[in-house]
C-alpha cells in the first residue's frame, strides 16, 4: 500500500490543529528559503537571527513592526466584513488612498493645499477621522452599488477603481495640493495634526489603538449582533437569506460601506502616523497585502492581530536581514511568499491526513457507506 492522502471524517478545526499546521507551514517555509541562502554564502541561522532580532528583539524594532502591522489590521478587517457578505471586493488600495488624501486635506487646513478654514483643536480628530471614513465608504460604495443593484463584476470593477484612485492621487500631489519644489507631494503636515506616539522610544503611534478597537468592534459585530448574523447569512446563501426575510442588498451595501471606511482609516494612519505628508506611492501595495493577512487569519477578526504582526515583522526583519547578510532582495521576497503560500496550502492537512502503509483506514460515515 502506497503513501496517500485520506480524507478526514471531520475537519480538524481545533485551535491546536490550526496552530500546528500554521507552525509547520512556517517552519517548512524558513527551511526552504534557507536553502536559497547557501549559493550566496549566507548562513540561514545567522540571517534569521538578524530577521527576528530586528523585528522583535528591541523596543525600537518591535515598534516598527507595529507600525507596519497597523494598516494591515484595518485592511484585513475590511476584507473580512465585505467578503463575509459574499462580495469579492479588492479595491482597498483605492480606499486607502482616499482616506490618506482626505486626512491630508483636513490636516493642511488654512493653507492653499488644504481645507479653506482652520478647525478648532477640539474638532480636529473627530472631523478628520469621520471625513476619512466617509471618503473610503463612498469610494467602495459606488462599486458595491454597481454589484448589488446591477449585478456588476465587483472584483474587476474594484480592481480597476484602484488605478483611478492612484491617478487621482497623482493629480492632487502634482496640482492643487502640491508644495513648492520639484517633488510631487504636499507640504509637511503640521506637527499637531500627527497621530501621537504610543510608546516612547518607538515610532508606534495611536493608530495601533484605533486598529485594536476596530478589531474588537468587527468581532462583536460579526459574532454578537443580528446585523452581523444577517451579513454572514447573506454571504453564505443569498436565496435562503431572502427567504428568511433578510434584506440582502441592504446588508451587503452596509458591509461594503463599513469595509471601505476601515480601509480608509488605514490611509489616515499612514499619512498622519508615518509619512506626515501625502505623496505618490504612499500605499506601497498595502491594500493587497491586507487581503493576504485576512486570508492567513482565515477571515477571523481576532486572528488578524497576530497575523498582521507576523507579516509586519517579516517586512521589517526581512529588510534588515537583506542589509546585514548581503542577500539579494529577491530572496527576502521569496521567503515572504513561501510563508503565505505554505500556510494557505497547509489547510489541506485539516481536511486530509497522510495514510501510511499498514495503517488502518478510518471508517466512513454511514451516509457515505450507503452511497
Domains of the chain, each with CATH number or no CATH: 1-28+327-371 (no CATH), 43-326 (1.10.3470)
Cα 163 to its chain centre, rounded Å, is: 19
Residue 362: is its pLDDT beyond 70? Answer: no
Give 263-319 pLDDT, tens digit per residue. Answer: 999 999 999 999 999 999 898 889 999 999 999 898 999 999 999 999 999 888 888
CB–CB of 52/230 below 8 Å?
Answer: no
Give 89-109 pLDDT, tens digit per residue. Answer: 999 999 999 999 999 999 999
**% pLDDT > 90, the chain:** 59
Q: pTM here?
A: 0.90
The cell numbers describing 262, all together, are: 476601515
* pLDDT at site 371: 41
Amino acid at each position: 500500500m502506497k503513501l496517500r492522502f485520506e480524507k478526514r471524517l471531520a475537519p480538524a478545526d481545533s485551535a491546536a490543529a490550526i496552530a500546528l499546521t500554521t507552525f509547520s507551514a512556517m517552519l517548512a517555509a524558513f527551511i526552504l528559503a534557507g536553502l536559497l541562502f547557501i549559493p550566496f554564502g549566507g548562513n540561514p541561522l545567522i540571517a534569521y537571527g538578524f530577521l527576528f532580532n530586528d523585528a522583535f528583539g528591541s523596543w525600537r524594532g518591535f515598534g516598527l513592526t507595529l507600525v507596519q502591522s497597523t494598516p494591515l489590521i484595518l485592511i484585513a478587517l475590511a476584507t473580512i466584513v465585505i467578503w463575509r457578505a459574499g462580495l469579492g471586493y479588492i479595491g482597498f488600495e483605492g480606499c486607502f488612498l482616499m482616506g490618506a488624501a482626505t486626512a491630508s486635506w483636513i490636516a493642511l487646513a488654512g493653507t492653499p493645499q488644504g481645507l479653506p478654514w482652520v478647525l478648532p483643536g477640539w474638532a480636529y480628530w473627530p472631523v478628520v477621522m469621520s471625513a476619512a471614513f466617509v471618503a473610503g465608504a463612498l469610494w467602495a460604495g459606488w462599486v458595491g452599488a454597481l454589484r448589488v443593484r446591477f449585478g456588476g463584476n465587483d472584483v474587476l470593477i474594484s480592481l480597476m477603481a484602484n488605478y483611478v484612485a492612484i491617478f487621482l492621487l497623482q493629480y492632487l500631489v502634482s496640482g492643487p495640493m502640491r508644495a513648492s519644489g520639484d517633488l510631487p507631494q504636499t507640504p509637511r503636515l503640521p506637527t499637531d495634526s500627527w497621530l501621537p506616539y504610543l510608546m516612547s522610544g518607538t515610532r508606534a503611534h495611536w493608530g495601533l489603538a484605533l486598529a485594536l478597537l476596530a478589531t474588537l468592534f468587527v468581532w462583536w459585530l460579526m459574532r454578537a449582533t443580528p446585523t452581523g448574523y444577517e451579513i454572514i447569512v447573506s454571504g453564505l446563501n443569498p436565496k435562503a437569506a431572502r427567504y428568511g426575510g433578510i434584506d440582502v442588498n441592504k446588508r451587503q451595501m452596509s458591509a461594503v460601506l463599513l469595509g471601505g471606511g476601515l480601509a480608509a482609516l488605514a490611509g489616515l494612519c499612514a499619512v498622519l502616523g508615518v509619512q506626515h505628508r501625502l505623496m505618490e506611492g504612499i500605499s506601497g501595495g498595502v491594500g493587497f497585502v491586507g487581503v493576504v493577512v485576512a486570508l492567513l487569519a482565515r477571515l477571523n477578526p481576532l486572528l488578524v492581530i497576530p497575523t498582521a504582526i507576523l507579516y509586519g515583522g517579516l517586512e521589517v526583519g526581512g529588510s534588515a536581514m537583506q542589509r546585514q547578510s548581503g542577500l539579494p532582495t529577491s530572496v527576502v521576497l521569496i521567503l515572504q511568499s513561501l510563508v503565505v503560500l505554505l500556510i494557505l496550502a497547509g489547510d489541506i492537512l485539516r481536511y486530509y491526513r497522510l495514510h501510511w502503509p499498514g495503517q488502518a483506514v478510518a471508517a466512513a460515515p454511514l451516509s457515505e457507506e450507503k452511497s
